[in-house]
Amino acid sequence: MTTSLEPKVTVADVPRLDAGPEYLPLPEPSAGGVPRVRLPSGHAALHLTRYRDVHRVLADNSFGRTVTNVEDGPSFLPTIMPKELLLNLDVPHHARMRGFVTADYSAAGVERLRPVVDEVIDRRFAALRRQDRPDLFATVLDPLPVTVNCRFLGIPETDVPHFRPSSRIVQMAPDHDVPGLLDHFWTVYHYVTDLVTGARPTDPDGLIGRFVAGRDRAEPPLSDEELVGILLGSLLGADQNVLSVLTKAVYTLLCAPALWRRLVDDPAVAPRLVEELIRLIPLGTISTFPRVATRDMETGAGTVREGEVVYADAFAANRDPDVFPDPLAIDPDRPANPRHLQFGYGMHHCMGAALARTEITALLVRLAEEFPDLALDADPAALPWDHGRLLRRPTALPVRW
C-alpha cells in the first residue's frame, strides 16, 4: 500500500486549476497598516491573508455581513441578495434560523442520503459505460448533485429543466448583464417560493415539507420569506457549489496520475484526499464575502478599525506556509489539524459541508473501484470551462478506461 507521493503533485501541475483574483491590490495600506484591495463594487477593503487573522475574523460575530448587502454596498457581486439568506444574517437572527436546519445538514443528518448517492452513481455509471465517447462531466458529475438534492429537498426531478439553467447563471454572477442576472435570480426565487407555499408539489417527507410543517419550532415561527431564504441557499449550493468542487477534484486527479493511482491503490485515503483537495480548490474566484468591523482588532497585518470593510481571504489562508508547510503540494498525508477554512468558520460555516464531503468522497471511491484505469481523453488545457464569481469548473471531461 502506498503511503506517500514521490514526486509530489502541486497545484501548478494542474492546468487552469487556479484563477486570477477578482480584486485589485491597492498600493497604500490602511491607516492601521493592513494591505488593501479594490473590490469589484469599487470599495476598498482590508485584505487579510494569514490563517490566524482570517480564522479570527470568521469566528468573530462582531464582523457584520448584513450592512454589506445594501445598494452600493461593498461586494464582489453586481447586485444585492435577499436579506433572509443565511450568509447575509448577523446575530441574533442568524442563530435562530441556522439552529432550525443544523440537525438536517449535520454529518449524521446527511448520512441517510448515502443510499441515494449510491443509487444515482449506479445509474450514471451504467450510462457512462454505454457511451461511445464518454464524457464524465455530462454523464456522471453534472447530474449527481442536483439529483441527490432533489431527493433531499423532496422536489420532482422533472422540475430540474425549469430552475437549473437559471441556478447556474445566478452562481456565475456575471456583471455584464445585470438585468438578465436578476431575471434568472427571480426565476429561482419564485420557484422556491412556490415550493414553500404549496403552489408546486413537494414530497412531504422531503426537507421542504418537513421544514414547512415544523416552522413553529423556531421562536418566533419562520415566515415564508425566511424559509425561502434558507432553501434558496440549499437549492443553489447543494447543486452548483458541490458540482464545482466535485468536478475540479476529479479533474485534478485525472491531471495528476500519481494522485489517481494513490486513490486506486488505497481507497481508505479518500476522506483525507478530499479534504486536501477542498483546501486548495475554491468554488469560483472569491473565497468569502466582505464584512464590516464593528470594533477595533489587532491582527498580524496591522490594526483593523471599526467601520472598515474586511476581506478575510480564506483561499489565501488555506495556503499559509506557516500553517500548511509546502502549501501548494496536494498531500493527502498532511496532518488533519488545523482544519482548512474553505467552508468558512464560525457563524457562517457552510451548512452544506457534510453533504459536499459525502458526495465527493463517495464518487471518488466508486470511480477508483470501478474504473481504475480512468484517464482524460483530451488535452487538459483545451477543455471548456465555466468561469464565474461563485463557480468555476470544467464543463467537459472526456475519458477513457
The Cβ of residue 329 has, within 10 Å, a number of other Cβ atoms equal to: 18
Q: Is pLDDT at 2 greater than 50 in this prediction?
A: no
> Each residue of 83-107: pLDDT tens digit?
999 989 999 889 999 999 999 999 9
DSSP H or E stretch at residue 36: strand 36-38
**Cα separation of 194 and 231, whole Å?**
12
Q: Please give the single-letter amino acid code of residue 56.
A: R
> Each residue of 330-349: pLDDT tens digit?
999 999 889 999 999 998 99
Residues ≥6 apart with Cβ < 8 Å to 213: 204
Q: What DSSP character marks residue 398?
A: B
Q: Tell me what pLDDT residue 282 has.
A: 85
Q: Is 156 helix (H, G, I), strand (E, B) or coil?
A: coil
Contact 345, 353 (CB under 8 A): no
Integer Rg of the chain from CA:
21
pLDDT band at 1 (very low <50, low <70, confident <90, very high): very low
> Each residue of 312-321: pLDDT tens digit?
999 999 999 9
What is the dihedral angle through the alpha carbons of 26, 43, 351, 298, rounded to the nearest 10 degrees?
A: 60
Global pTM value: 0.95
Contact 398, 135 (CB under 8 A): yes
Q: Which fold has domain 11-400?
A: Cytochrome p450 (1.10.630)
> Each residue of 195-254: pLDDT tens digit?
999 999 999 999 999 999 999 999 999 999 999 999 999 999 999 999 999 999 999 999
pLDDT band at 7 (very low <50, low <70, confident <90, very high): confident
Contact 289, 68 (CB under 8 A): yes
| Backbone phi and psi for residue 376, each to the nearest 5 degrees, phi listed first | -65, 140
**Cα separation of 388 and 171, whole Å?**
7
Q: How far is CA 72 from CA 21, 44, 258, in A?
A: 21, 13, 48
Q: What is the bridge-based pairing of β-strands 399-400 and 375-376?
A: antiparallel
> Each residue of 44-90: pLDDT tens digit?
999 999 999 999 999 999 999 999 999 999 999 999 999 999 989 99
Q: What is the bridge-based pairing of β-strands 44-48 and 309-312?
A: parallel
Q: Is pLDDT at 4 greater than 70 in this prediction?
A: no
**Cα separation of 116 and 120, whole Å?**
6
Q: Tell me what pLDDT residue 6 has.
A: 67
> Each residue of 358-389: pLDDT tens digit?
999 999 999 999 999 999 999 999 999 999 99
Domain ranges (residues) in the chain: 11-400
Q: Tell me what pLDDT residue 336 has.
A: 86
